[in-house]
A and B are shown apart, each in its own frame.
Chain A
Amino acid sequence: MDTLATAFENTVRTASDWVTLAFDAPSARAVVFGVQIGGHLFVEGLLFVVIIFLLSQKSYKPPKRPLSKKEIDELCDEWVPEPLIPPITEEMKYEPPVLQSAAGPHTRINGKEVINFASANYLGFVGHEKILESCTKAVEKYGVGSCGPRGFYGTIDVHLDCEARIAKFLGTSDSILYAYGLSTMFSIIPAFSKKGDIIVADEGVHWGIQNGLQLSRSTIVYYKHNDMESLRSILEKFTQKNERAKKLRRYIVAEAVYQNSGQIAPLDEIVRLKEKYRFRLILDESNSFGVLGSSGRGLTEHCRIPIEKVDIVTAAMGNALAAEGGFCTGSARVIDHQRLSSSGYVFSASLPPYLASAALTAVDVLEENLDLITKLKKNVATLHKGLSDVHGLEIVSDPQSPIVFLRLRNSTGSIKGDLQVLEDIADRVLKEDSIFCVTSKRSTIDKCNLAAGIRLFVSAAHTESDLVKAYESFKRATPLVLEGQ
């Protein structure tokens, strides 16, 4: 190596000596204004001129003639846009049933009382006396809307009280309220994950999360729905191959109870993996907060995992709490960061104070009435059992999930086809047995492609006989619809 370098050095030196000699020949010597122009100066001058010349030349490009005004006019005239929306088909004209009373366990549709399995009113808080009372007081005191974002006098004392109450209930240091459940996730993800960061998400996550993932512009990898082996291999791949990954922020995004399937995420396994591969975890507890765990503190309590192990916990308050909006909870740093960087929080009017008051009271009621959770668990078990042997349908959801998710045992081959059949079943049970339940409709921009199904939201306020009626109705109606196919 050494010898090679010396040899090279020698060659260079000889060459330069030769060049100097050539130019220092008498013919190249000149004296200008008493300054002797050496050969090297001459060469340098020449080089300089050449460089200037080259720089002044445009690099070769095929001659580009801009379009003339007339040509542009023609192009504009010729351009025909697509219509704003595609042609309306029959299925787009679907009109949902209109409720004539509160969406409690029993409600009124078309003048007929029905048993409601379409509302995620898990704890039966719709129409709860104490909550109504606190809402009424709040409306009288604060009016309805907050008329401003949190930053600009839209922070009302109930918001702060509600945030503190939720944090206290969950045992975290702080929490933050969002004005709408859907906006919670799509604001939080881009606030913490930017271009270049890595997010590994479950393929079954709901649209709010998908939207957040897309807005974050991070590198996104989906793992198979609730499949820990798939998650592990992806995490492994990321950390092994990619040394740079250590410097990036890395997140796992999952739902506690999946809205699209009713399955429960195996949190203990996820936490083990996340700690092993040093990812952070964002967990959506919308359908588990107030439901899972012995006192309704959600999936962390259910799996007996301290909540600090999950970096960011979010939940919609439009389910178990029967209010509206959403919250996020975690360490003070995580929460404070959102107060300035989370788009749905900064750029939108805050939650109407009466809804914050509703959520706050709901947490109080929940804490005082642990029997509600026991009752809900019992109801879930009853309905799950009752529906587990319906001919032609199978249950996808977890036995403990408050969403009982039924899908066709024999799929028609397409989500649309399945939905049609399921819709018929739901229609039939509503019309004939007054059981109001809904299919999992899917937006054309939703990327989730888990099978469609019928969702039944169980409530602690459902009576035993409501549940029996429901599964009996399914047992009776499903074969009739499926035969009719």
Chain B
Amino acid sequence: MENAFRSGILAVLALIFISSSFANASDSPFIVAHKRVALKKLNPIVERISVSIDVYNRGSATAYDVTLADDSWAQDVFDSVIGNTSMSWGRLDAGSLVSHSFEFESKVKTVYYGAPALITYRVPTKSGLQEAYSTPTLPLKILSDSDTGKKIEKLKRLQSSAPPAFHHHRNQTLTAVRSKMITIPYLTALTTYFSYGLLFVFGQLRDFFRRIIDLWSHSSLQGYAPICLGLEDFYIRRLYLRIQDCFNRPISSPPDAWFDVVERVSKDNNKTLQRTKNVSRCLNLGSYNYLGFAAADEYCTPRVIESLKRFSPSTCSSRVDGGTTTLHTELEERVASFVGKPAAVVFGMGYVTNSAILPVLIGKGGLIISDSLNHNSIVNGARGSGATVRVFQHNTPSHLEKVLREQIADGQPRTHRPWKKIIIVVEGIYSMEGELCKLPEIVAVCKKYKAYVYLDEAHSIGAVGKTGRGVCELLGVDTAEVDVMMGTFTKSFGSCGGYIAGSKELIQYLKYTCPAHLYATSVSPPAAQQIISSIKVILGEDGSSRGAQKLAGIRENSNFFRSELQKMGFEVLGDNDSPVMPIMLYNPSKIPAFSRECLKRNVAVVTVAFPATPLLLARARICISAAHTRKDLIKALEVISSVGDLVGVKYFPAEPNKQQLEEGRVKME
């Protein structure tokens, strides 16, 4: 809490600083804009990334200079193919526009997605050199299609409205600014803090009166410290309870594309909620039902029921005792071949898979370097292992390399003995950000420094890749390069449990000593059957093409939905192809508003706030499923758009052509 507070203050200071540089930028002699980084496919293996920028000279400058300064790409991963990554002092007359582009080709022959490069510009002015940079994290496709004149108009307009897409900084070190991936509009940040401040003050006031009242009435708990601590409890009582109807909404049907949300009422100002008999049929944009296996399935369900009859819901025993049935052995073989590893072991819960495996792999004297946004199960696993834990900046291979170098050079704390081993833990798709892991670069870094890679594919296995085999397939990384592959069955497969896949020896060792294998009840047999059957469907072994359709469906649905949201002016995080897309809300009062308004219009979305995200970065999260039809998505977009207008979360100007949406609709009918 204290930490969050401190970083909050820092963020405010940083924002004030940034906004003041906005003001300075108004006399900037040039305008810089950035096109989105694009991917070109030359042939099946060769793909190129092109990065391009536009510089418009507004007046006083006569020359410009461009350098690509991006350290988020590991060295040696890319070759520059076309264009100069550093171009010194080209001529640029007043009033003219120049476009500058580079093209890269990946040396490791892989698709590359991710945060794009940073480009520095320098322009001479009377008072000396002026420097600026640009981060093309935002939808700037606008710039690529219209003609030059209009482009400049748009640029000017955009710049004067100063959306965070365009930053002009003077004399600032690039590294200092670029660590901030999400840029928050100044005003938004201010109002967000104000809202939290207000809630906090009122909460404290109420607590104060409560305490005065409590003084009179005797507490029965003499001699016991309160079971819930002040601050954590404060958050629940004074903030969470106000909006608790937005969470834990019960449903009374499978979490399919459409589901029945049970209505709840509160008689005591939202302190407690009672279920009613009423349900409303809502479009489900919240469940991790990526491939649509949540509901009854023509192929899976009969087999699940058969297994249920044959093996009962539980074995009442751990895997190593009497909990291994023929289904479990079959499941392990299937999972291993599906993810592309020699062997696998399965557990009854994804969370436990992480938290019980890490302590087995590493202990005191070892080092775990974990992505800063890793899931709680990984954090707990690392904590439980007794190893030293360090964190690297979210999805930044260059920072990972820096931490690795420092740590290897330093050795263990105090004794400076060399580390016994180092494990890097990353996720395939980050479930709160929707981002894909920069796996090729991270693997390259790990290889260079002899660290082991632990990849958690909870959200990516089954959901991405041509045949659903996860980020390795999508990003073209050989699974042999990833030492430990972990994943869960709760998402794409519509079941429960988790797996670890790796070398035969690794799995043997885990089966020998992992507590989750030795002590925990084995995966419920019908759930195991569900996984087996859904893998068969994905691979087309059921004799139909449903699997391939599902995989194509989720990709198209996700990309369609993401691009439409961006066009509407929402601030959407995450990468293409990822079915998870957070929409930034920022302000705490917008959380319940967005959630309730969507629900009113029969669209169920998930909203996430502190403590799951940083205080400032509250968001709504949308999970797309292959089970959604185009019509569903269009309805969802309409609802989200109107709610977005109502609540005021379209932080960017909308793209003028809304035709596509209409076109899509025409096609549907």
What are the residues of chain A within 8 A of B243 when measuring CB–CB? none
What are the residues of chain A within 8 A of B301 when measuring CB–CB? 139-140, 143
Q: Is B355 an interface residue (CB 8 A)?
A: yes
A-B contact pairs, 8 of them (CB 8 A): A150-B248, A151-B248, A153-B255, A160-B250, A179-B349, A322-B314, A441-B518, A446-B518
CB distance from A406 to the nearest CB of B (A): 15
From the candidates B275, B315, B421, B496, name the one contacting A145 in the complex (CB within 8 A): B496
What are the residues of chain B within 8 A of A259 when measuring CB–CB? 519
The reply to whether B383 and A181 form a contact with Cβ atoms under 8 Å apart is no
Give 15 A-B pairs besides A119-B316, A153-B284, A347-B351 with Cβ atoms closer than 8 angstroms: A76-B409, A81-B450, A97-B324, A103-B312, A119-B323, A126-B312, A154-B255, A155-B249, A157-B252, A186-B380, A259-B519, A337-B233, A340-B240, A348-B377, A443-B518
Interface size on A, residues (CB 8 A): 116
The reply to whether B490 and A349 form a contact with Cβ atoms under 8 Å apart is yes
Q: Is A147 an interface residue (CB 8 A)?
A: yes
What are the residues of chain B within 8 A of A208 when measuring CB–CB? 515, 519-520
Q: Given A92-B509, A183-B349, is A318 in contact with B252 using a C-beta cutoff of 8 Å?
A: no
The reply to whether B315 and A99 form a contact with Cβ atoms under 8 Å apart is yes
The reply to whether A147 and B287 form a contact with Cβ atoms under 8 Å apart is yes
The reply to whether A157 and B250 form a contact with Cβ atoms under 8 Å apart is yes
Q: Is B229 an interface residue (CB 8 A)?
A: yes
CB distance from A185 to the nearest CB of B (A): 11
The reply to whether B408 and A75 form a contact with Cβ atoms under 8 Å apart is yes
What are the residues of chain A within 8 A of B225 when measuring CB–CB? 197, 246-250
The reply to whether B228 and A333 form a contact with Cβ atoms under 8 Å apart is yes
What are the residues of chain A within 8 A of B352 when measuring CB–CB? 180, 182-183, 344
The reply to whether B326 and A443 form a contact with Cβ atoms under 8 Å apart is no
A interface residues with partner B (beta carbon < 8 Å): 67, 71-72, 75-76, 79-86, 88, 91-94, 96-104, 107, 116, 118-121, 126-127, 131-132, 135-136, 139-148, 150-157, 159-160, 179-183, 186, 192, 194, 197, 206-208, 211, 214-215, 246-250, 259, 278, 280, 311, 316, 318-319, 322-324, 333-334, 336-337, 339-341, 343-344, 346-349, 351-352, 354-355, 358, 436, 438, 441-446, 457
Q: Is B35 an interface residue (CB 8 A)?
A: no
What are the residues of chain B within 8 A of A135 when measuring CB–CB? 308, 313, 526
Q: Is B539 an interface residue (CB 8 A)?
A: no
The reply to whether A322 and B312 form a contact with Cβ atoms under 8 Å apart is yes
Q: Is B513 an interface residue (CB 8 A)?
A: yes
Cα-based distance from A477 to B493 in the complex (angstroms): 46
Q: Given A118-B321, A145-B493, A147-B289, is A214 in contact with B384 using a C-beta cutoff of 8 Å?
A: yes
CB distance from B535 to the nearest CB of A (A): 13
The reply to whether B313 and A96 form a contact with Cβ atoms under 8 Å apart is no
The reply to whether A97 and B422 form a contact with Cβ atoms under 8 Å apart is no
The 4 A-B residue pairs with the shortest CB-CB distance, nearest first, are A118-B322, A318-B521, A349-B490, A180-B349
Cα-based distance from A292 to B494 in the complex (angstroms): 36
Q: Interface digits, B280-296 against A, CB 8 Å rule (1 contact, 0 not)?
A: 00001011110001111
CB distance from B610 to the nearest CB of A (A): 12
CB distance from A313 to the nearest CB of B (A): 14
What are the residues of chain B within 8 A of A136 when measuring CB–CB? 305, 308-309
Q: Is B530 an interface residue (CB 8 A)?
A: yes
Cα-based distance from A152 to B606 in the complex (angstroms): 6
The reply to whether A119 and B322 form a contact with Cβ atoms under 8 Å apart is yes
The reply to whether A102 and B356 form a contact with Cβ atoms under 8 Å apart is no
Q: Given A79-B450, A93-B508, A322-B312, is A103 in contact with B322 using a C-beta cutoff of 8 Å?
A: yes
Residues of chain B from 186 to 239 with CB closer than 8 A to chain A in the complex: 223-229, 232-233, 236
What are the residues of chain B within 8 A of A181 when measuring CB–CB? 520-521
The reply to whether B321 and A341 form a contact with Cβ atoms under 8 Å apart is no
Cα-based distance from A241 to B270 in the complex (angstroms): 45
What are the residues of chain B within 8 A of A446 when measuring CB–CB? 515, 518
Q: Is B78 an interface residue (CB 8 A)?
A: no
From A67, A81, A183, A194, name the one whose CB has the most chain B CB atoms within 10 angstroms: A81
The reply to whether B361 and A85 form a contact with Cβ atoms under 8 Å apart is yes
The reply to whether B236 and A337 form a contact with Cβ atoms under 8 Å apart is yes
From B356, B361, B525, name the one whose CB has the most chain A CB atoms within 10 angstroms: B356
Q: Given A153-B287, A192-B227, A278-B224, is A146 in contact with B312 using a C-beta cutoff of 8 Å?
A: no
The reply to whether A145 and B349 form a contact with Cβ atoms under 8 Å apart is no
Q: Given A153-B606, A246-B223, A337-B227, is A355 in contact with B313 using a C-beta cutoff of 8 Å?
A: yes
